[in-house]
Amino acid sequence: MSIPRDLPAIQPRLVAVSKTKPADMVIEAYSHGQRSFGENYVQELLEKASNPKILSSCPEIKWHFIGHLQKQNVNKLMAVPNLFMLETVDSMKLADKVNSSWQKKASSERLKVMVQINTSGEESKHGLLPSETVAMVEHINTKCPSLEFVGLMTIGSFGHDLSQGPNPDFQMLLSLREELCKKLNITADQVELSMGMSMDFQHAIEVGSTNVRIGSTIFGERDYSKKPALDKSAADLKGPMEVTQAH
Ligand SMILES: *Cc1c(COP(=O)(O)O)cnc(C)c1O
């Protein structure tokens, strides 16, 4: 696979998405050299990252939070050991809350954050409107000194037919990065792009993804049957409750 010549030659990071999978699978992947792991529920991430076996066997593990983050869960997320990146900042209020919560930890490093964009415009997906991207990043850069803006993240619509051309949601994220770089006078290699999952990571890398989030292709299909609360719609998408509470 090759990365387009006009884009920064960044080796994409593989985030192994271990949601619903046991700690032993994380440890096994780690023992084969995998370092970055992703989870989308705060409680599940906190439990897994605090697991004594993971703590002792995986000292260099880097956890990415990739799920929707509600303000009441921010403090809990900030308590996660080896939290490396929050990929899903989707409002200024959330950024402010994360900023002040991380500040209280008095960590020597800023918390890396990505801004999540709803590129597909689907009501069921989280993220900012594309038009809100620049203001959001400026807000982080000027008002959130404990946060380090590192990139843009999107899920995009599923099942895009590549015979119709490149995935427009990924193209949207690329063009938002261009706009951001012009407005903020920064270079493309300062803005990561988190896009691509099991179904579409190859295409995502071909068009310039720097961070792919892959779960089922690595760990096998997820079994939600034992945990009815963690069904697919609640895991990746807005549940009906949140949609009705939105305004
Ligand atoms: C679950 C999840 C993934 C991984 O999905 P797979 O299709 O299993 O690769 C990637 N990104 C997000 C935001 C997820 O919730």
Q: Is 190 in the pocket of ligand 1 (CB under 6 A)?
A: no
SS3 of residue 114 by DSSP: strand
> What is the pLDDT at residue 239?
41
Is 239 among the domain residues? Answer: no
Cα atoms found within 13 Å of the Cα of residue 40, Cβ hemisphere only = 23
Out of 54-58, 105-109, 217-221, least confident range: 105-109
Q: Is 218 in the pocket of ligand 1 (CB under 6 A)?
A: no
Is 165 among the domain residues? Answer: yes
Cα atoms found within 13 Å of the Cα of residue 161, Cβ hemisphere only = 2
Is 226 among the domain residues? Answer: no
Is 83 among the domain residues? Answer: yes
> What is the pLDDT at residue 165?
92
Distances (CA, A) of 30 to 11, 56, 159, 166, 185: 19, 12, 30, 33, 38
> What is the pLDDT at residue 9?
76
Is 228 among the domain residues? Answer: no
Overall number of domains in the chain? 1
Joined together, the tokens standing for residue 76 give: 């809990």
* 77, 39, 222, 214: CA torsion to nearest 10: 170
Mutate to test the pocket of ligand 1, among 25, 66, 221 (most ligand atoms within 8 A of CB): 66
Beta bridge partners of 192: 151
Closest by CA position to 218, among listed 24, 26, 23, 2: 26
Q: Is 213 in the pocket of ligand 1 (CB under 6 A)?
A: yes
List, in sequence order, the alpha helices (H) in the chain: 23-31, 42-50, 52-57, 74-78, 92-105, 133-143, 168-184, 201-206, 216-219, 232-236, 240-245
Is 236 among the domain residues? Answer: no
Q: What CATH number is attached to the domain comprising 138? A: 3.20.20.10
Q: In ligand 1, which atom is closest to the CA atom of 217?
A: 9
pLDDT at 229 over 90: no
Is 244 among the domain residues? Answer: no
Is 150 among the domain residues? Answer: yes
Cα 75 versus chain centre, distance: 18
Question: What confidence category does residue 8 fall into, taking pLDDT thresholds of 50, 70 and 90?
Answer: confident
Question: What confidence category does residue 213 fall into, taking pLDDT thresholds of 50, 70 and 90?
Answer: very high
Distance 42 CA to ligand 1 centre (A): 15
Q: What percent of the chain has pLDDT over 90?
A: 82
Which domain range does residue 92 map to? 13-219
In order, the DSSP letters of 23-68 are HHHHHHHHHTT--EEEES-HHHHHHHHH-HHHHHH-TT-EEEE-S-
Closest by CA position to 84, among listed 65, 57, 103: 65
Q: Is 17 in the pocket of ligand 1 (CB under 6 A)?
A: yes
